[in-house]
Amino acid sequence: MLNRLSKIAGAAALCLGGGATMALAAPCLEVVLTGVQGGPPVFMGQAGAGTLVRYGSEDNNCSDVVLQFDTGRGTTQQLSKLGVPAGKVSAVFFSHIHSDHSEGLPDLMQLRWHFGSAGPKVDMVCSDDVTTPKGYTMSCRAFGENIGAALIASGEMAQRLAENPKRLPGGPSDLLNIMTFSGTDAPQTVWEKGDVTVSAVKSRHVAGHASYRVDTPAGSVVIGGDAGNDTPAPPRDNSTSAQVEALAQGADIVVHSVIHPIMGPDGMSGFPPPIYFRQSTATDLGGLAMRAGVKHLMLTHHIPPLGAAKQGPYTVKEGGLTADDYIGAVRESGYEGDVVIGPDLTRLKLVAQ
């Protein structure tokens, strides 16, 4: 597919019958890192993990289809900075149900319920319930169905319904259209609208983790989430997901959570090795991007955050890591493509030629 990386509006000319010529805005795909915070810590107001992917034409700011992948802390505020109202989101997709990826959903949906109870609903796409060998179940569906539970228990819902009976009686969950899928190693289509197709694979991190690919006429993007290798600890070839690598073949952009090798068992940070090993390192993500032929690697969910001397309770180093520290770790893989690393609201736009 031909496209160009652009932040400048452009237009293609379309010849119509009768000799008339009309400017027709080109299809575009925009990818925005709505939050680059890695894991539950807070640091300098960074938002929690999330990626906005929108597709449309340049005359409507690529906004025919608006998709949000993960909704970490502060997602609604970040979307407001981009001029995306809560009611404009077409679908939300979840890599997994860890709070750093999901805690922004109640906020987003409560706002939508407050002012937009008449609809439309939001598709919420994620994995089926998965029960682990230890006996607990990870349930995206249960999360979605219960986002208003605390507000119902507190009486707020009853009070707000009393003042406006047109609101949906079950609270914000009533505005979710929950669509779950059984995770598979091979890509499967999980959502479609017009020219936009979203496919998914099962990937390892915690039970029910999924990674996604969005294909559009303007380009394609893979959102890896927190995916790691199916082999949970060394010895293994690398820390990245083989399923994500296959999904990313020929993609224009990969957005992926990253951990810097300094957090590994040799780095003296004290960061728990099992938590380190279930993420993908910067160097190994460079290797994945190189093998998959990806043009742009966008690093998000930074562990540790840029400039942070600590990741939660774990010491990084005085002054923290710089963008060059992350990019240098990627380059050790030999990857020569574009590497993009935060901050929040970093964006890439592809325009069809």
CB of 14 to Zn ion, least distance (A): 44
Integer Cα distance of 62 and 31 in angstroms: 10
- Binding part of the chain for Zn ion, among 15-23, 187-195, 225-233, 269-277 by CB under 5 A, reads 225-233
CB of 226 to Zn ion, least distance (A): 5
- Binding part of the chain for Zn ion, among 80-88, 100-108, 172-180, 186-194 by CB under 5 A, reads 100-108
CB of 98 to Zn ion, least distance (A): 5
- Does residue 70 belong to the site contacting Zn ion (CB under 5 A)? no
CB of 295 to Zn ion, least distance (A): 25
H helices of the chain, where?
A: 75-81, 99-102, 105-116, 140-145, 149-154, 156-163, 242-247, 273-277, 282-292, 323-331
- Does residue 226 belong to the site contacting Zn ion (CB under 5 A)? yes
**Cβ nearer to Zn ion, comparing 30 with 100:** 100
- Phi then psi for 192, rounded to 5 degrees? -145, 145
Query: Amino acid identity of 318?
Result: E
- Does residue 100 belong to the site contacting Zn ion (CB under 5 A)? yes
**Cβ nearer to Zn ion, comparing 76 with 95:** 95
CB 71 within 8 A of CB 104: yes
CB of 104 to Zn ion, least distance (A): 13
Measuring CA to CA, how many Å separate 205 from each of 44, 78, 139, 185, 219? 26, 26, 15, 14, 27
- Does residue 103 belong to the site contacting Zn ion (CB under 5 A)? no
CB of 46 to Zn ion, least distance (A): 13
- Binding part of the chain for Zn ion, among 112-120, 126-134, 222-230, 283-291 by CB under 5 A, reads 222-230
Strands 188-193 and 21-25: unpaired
- Binding part of the chain for Zn ion, among 14-22, 167-175, 226-234, 258-266 by CB under 5 A, reads 226-234
Integer Cα distance of 263 and 311 in angstroms: 9
**Cβ nearer to Zn ion, comparing 28 with 126:** 126
**Cβ nearer to Zn ion, comparing 58 with 226:** 226
- Binding part of the chain for Zn ion, among 22-30, 122-130, 224-232, 265-273 by CB under 5 A, reads 224-232
CB of 103 to Zn ion, least distance (A): 11
Helix (H) or strand (E) holding 122: strand 122-127
Residues 142-171 touching Zn ion, rule: CB under 5 A, are none
Number of residues counted as binding Zn ion (CB under 5 A): 2
Measuring CA to CA, how many Å separate 311 from each of 191, 268, 316? 35, 13, 7
Q: Closest Cα partner for 313 from 262, 273, 269?
A: 269
- Phi then psi for 226, rounded to 5 degrees? -95, 25
Which residues are at the interface with Zn ion (CB under 5 A)?
A: 100, 226
